[in-house]
Structure 1
């Protein structure tokens, strides 16, 4: 409960109108968003990749890496989000026990790895998990 309170102190709730552009592809990144109400369209090169709803986070790589945005995010209808700045997130993470910091670092590396993302996307598109390779005996 204590860690939730420390995160609550760094979140800033804001409302956005339909069509509001949170960020554009290739913009610098300093904040991430947690959708409380409404929807957000994630677009890349004018193609819609996803529409996210309440409970979903977007722009999260901004919290972890100082890299340009890889997509554009636009509000679909009236939308309310919690906003967290990179500096506040890092401060909250530093207050975590070392094991949680280590796990967070591992997950960040996994999710930042293009190969992992490609394999994950392929697995999510299949209805049944792939069969493990057959064991070969000598």
Structure 2
């Protein structure tokens, strides 16, 4: 097995398979697999906790990253804003993009871009779970 294939399999395991682990440990594991341990990112380090804090303040916006296009996703759904089940909830709730994300070749920090995407995915899963519990969404109180 080549090193590239082994790394790919480890990344899939870290991001896609969380059986027996919670999302925080999946995020922490993804940090390790991507070689990003010890790096501090301005978007945070605990997507579940950060989403819960935002939700408690009334901010139900989803989190997105800039790439070739804006990505508002979860680990299971690539584009929430185009998905029939979630399109309306994303439009109602709004989206806050992670500053500094880009598909630009000048973006030298692959850890930042990769981990921002994974962070946003887990964050968005928390927002969806909360919206399902209360059955409604709204934009941030300051909008």
Q: TM-score range by the shorter chain?
A: under 0.3
**Structure-1-length-normalised TM-score:** 0.23
Higher helix content, 1 or 2: 2
Higher strand content, 1 or 2: 1
Please identify the structure whose Cα radius of gyration is greater.
1
